[in-house]
């Protein structure tokens, strides 16, 4: 698989050296990476100033900005011949066991078996979706060792089909199967609810796996609440979850009639849920909020999970900026005893910056001094990010509540 020719040494930018030593696993493009030899799979990164070999890297020359990713900080791995296949197998085995031997598979058929950098498998995600696997490449070098990767994966789990998707390369679907299936449609269960899954019809397959663990953390709040407004609802995972936890009025808002149709299919897959408790609004979130505020409608729970760049059909704005208009409107329709979950889906904005922005918007609104920004909702369980790797900590949620619950 990997040739055992001597691994070439490459100098790294002083900042890369510093961050690698602190556990950050990426080498992004700079003047140093431009000098990396083109065809080598492994490289040993050298701290020029201290003349110290510091890391074994996997080279990713074709990736747009992450030109190499950390494989090992242990000099034993580059001083003698590296047994890469054994290490890969070991890491995959550990990652699989961490989930399969936990409570997770008893609660949901939708979870990560591998979560990239936090499993020391950089740029590789593997999702288990009922009896299928979806392997997602965020680093392009995985394609070069796909045969070996698949052989190990197939020796560890037995599934009906394995899908491979190259992610985030122009948002093209780029999905293929190992056993020749063209697409897959099946029903998957998450926390007792059924959801329709469609692989290879759209870029995403119908439910966001990274939100599962967060949904579970939200239960104590949802149980206290009778009504929910779910903005950017997609196929309605939060809406169904709210209804399952006893809500008697749930409104889902999405720009896409296709996804709201899919939400209806999901409702139909769960006969215990009363459909008359649910309404959809097919329009931009801002417009729906204006309408609901004008009608004087109040909700005890609001979930707002905008895409990182949100389109209202005519304009595109960043999710953080969209809160400037959305948050004051959401506060108008939030019951005094209610809870608002505000999410942001990008690693480019830190937790502090997101919190600061929410505070500023509240301070400039008619609700100044009336609210508390509280608990954080983070990626956890099967998709816990690696400590110190802020790019992996991309999903951020804050709970917002009135100080004086009326």
Ligand X SMILES: C[S@@+](CC[C@H](N)C(=O)[O-])C[C@H]1O[C@@H](n2cnc3c(N)ncnc32)[C@H](O)[C@@H]1O
Asked whether position 237 contacts ligand X by CB under 6 A, the answer is: yes
What's the length of the chain?
406
Selected from 33, 132, 285, 339, the binder of ligand X by CB under 6 A is 285
Q: How many residues bind ligand X (CB under 6 A)?
A: 18
Asked whether position 116 contacts ligand X by CB under 6 A, the answer is: no
- Within 287-346, the residues that bind ligand X by CB under 6 A are 305, 307, 310-312
Helix and strand counts by DSSP (H, E) for the chain: 11, 21
Helices 285-295 and 319-332: crossing angle in degrees, nearest 10, is 10
Residue with smaller CB distance to ligand X, 55 or 237:
237
Distance CA 375, CA 133 (A): 33
Selected from 17, 68, 133, 211, the binder of ligand X by CB under 6 A is 211
Residue with smaller CB distance to ligand X, 205 or 238:
238
Q: How far apart are the first and last CA of the chain?
A: 65
- Reference 139, options 114, 111, 109, 110; nearest CA is 114
Contact stretch for ligand X (CB under 6 A) within 62-70, 179-187, 233-241, 361-369 = 233-241
Segment holding 71, helix H or strand E:
strand 66-72
Judge whether 79 and 356 are in contact, CB under 8 Å.
no
Distance CA 12, CA 35 (A): 10
**CB 307, min distance to ligand X, A:** 4
Structure tokens at 54: 């510091």
3-state secondary structure of 331: helix
Residue whose structure tokens are 């609660």: 107
Whole-angstrom CA distances from 262 to 187, 188, 206 are 12, 14, 8
Residue with smaller CB distance to ligand X, 314 or 352:
314
**CB 230, min distance to ligand X, A:** 7
Segment holding 194, helix H or strand E:
strand 193-199
Residue whose structure tokens are 């190259």: 166
Judge whether 305 and 343 are in contact, CB under 8 Å.
yes
* DSSP class of 32: T
Selected from 255, 267, 326, 340, the binder of ligand X by CB under 6 A is 255
**CB 256, min distance to ligand X, A:** 4
Asked whether position 210 contacts ligand X by CB under 6 A, the answer is: no
Contact stretch for ligand X (CB under 6 A) within 247-255, 292-300, 334-342, 351-359 = 247-255
**CB 324, min distance to ligand X, A:** 14
**CB 363, min distance to ligand X, A:** 25
Residue with smaller CB distance to ligand X, 27 or 267:
267
Query: E-assigned strands of 218-345?
Result: 227-231, 249-254, 278-282, 299-304, 309-311, 316-318, 334-345
**CB 219, min distance to ligand X, A:** 15
Kindly report the CA angle at 239 between 236 and 245, in degrees rounded to 5? 140
**CB 317, min distance to ligand X, A:** 9
Distance CA 196, CA 300 (A): 28
Asked whether position 40 contacts ligand X by CB under 6 A, the answer is: no
Contact stretch for ligand X (CB under 6 A) within 15-23, 33-41, 87-95, 251-259 = 251-259
Contact stretch for ligand X (CB under 6 A) within 64-72, 98-106, 138-146, 230-238 = 230-238
Contact stretch for ligand X (CB under 6 A) within 87-95, 194-202, 252-260, 389-397 = 252-260
Selected from 104, 218, 253, 320, the binder of ligand X by CB under 6 A is 253
Selected from 25, 123, 284, 338, the binder of ligand X by CB under 6 A is 284
**CB 288, min distance to ligand X, A:** 7
3-state secondary structure of 36: coil
Residue with smaller CB distance to ligand X, 68 or 255:
255
Residue with smaller CB distance to ligand X, 236 or 385:
236
Residue with smaller CB distance to ligand X, 279 or 311:
311
Distance CA 351, CA 308 (A): 15
Residues of this chain that bind ligand X (CB under 6 A): 208, 211, 232, 234, 237-238, 253-256, 259, 284-285, 305, 307, 310-312
């Amino acid at each position: 698989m990997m040739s055992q020719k001597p691994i070439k040494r490459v100098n790294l930018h002083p900042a890369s050296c510093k961050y690698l030593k602190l556990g950050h696993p990426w080498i992004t493009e700079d003047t140093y990476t431009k000098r990396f030899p083109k065809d080598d799979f492994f490289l040993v990164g050298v701290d020029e100033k201290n003349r110290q070999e510091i890391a074994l890297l996997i080279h990713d020359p074709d990736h747009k900005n992450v030109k190499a990713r950390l494989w090992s900080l242990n000099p034993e791995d580059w001083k003698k011949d590296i047994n890469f296949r054994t290490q890969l197998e070991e890491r995959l085995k550990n990652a699989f066991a961490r989930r399969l031997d936990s409570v997770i598979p008893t609660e949901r058929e939708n979870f990560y078996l591998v979560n990239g950098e936090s499993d020391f498998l950089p740029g590789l995600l593997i999702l288990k979706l009922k009896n299928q696997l979806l392997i997602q490449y965020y680093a392009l070098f995985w394609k070069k060792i796909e045969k070996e990767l698949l052989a190990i994966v197939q020796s560890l789990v037995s599934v009906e089909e394995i899908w491979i998707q190259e992610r985030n390369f122009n948002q093209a679907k780029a999905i293929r199967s190992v056993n020749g299936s063209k697409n897959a449609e099946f029903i998957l269960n998450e926390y007792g609810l059924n959801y329709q899954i469609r692989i290879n019809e759209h870029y995403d397959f119908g439910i966001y796996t990274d939100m599962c663990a967060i949904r579970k953390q939200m239960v104590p709040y949802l149980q206290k609440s009778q009504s929910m407004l779910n903005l950017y609802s997609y196929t309605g995972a939060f809406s169904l979850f709210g209804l399952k936890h006893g809500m008697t009025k749930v409104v889902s808002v999405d720009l896409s009639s296709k996804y709201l149709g899919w939400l209806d299919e999901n409702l139909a897959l769960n006969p215990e849920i009363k459909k008359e408790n649910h309404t959809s609004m097919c329009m931009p979130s801002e417009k729906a909020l204006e309408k609901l505020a004008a009608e004087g409608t109040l909700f005890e729970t609001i979930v707002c999970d905008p895409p990182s760049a949100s389109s209202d059909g005519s304009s595109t704005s960043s999710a953080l900026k969209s809160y400037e208009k959305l948050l004051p409107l959401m506060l108008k329709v939030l019951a005094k005893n209610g809870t608002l979950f505000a999410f942001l889906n990008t690693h480019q904005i830190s937790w502090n910056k997101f919190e600061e922005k929410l505070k500023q918007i509240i301070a400039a609104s008619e609700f100044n001094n009336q609210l508390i920004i509280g608990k954080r909702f983070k990626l956890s369980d099967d998709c816990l990010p690696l400590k110190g790797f802020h790019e992996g900590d991309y999903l951020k949620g804050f709970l917002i509540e009135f100080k004086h619950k009326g």
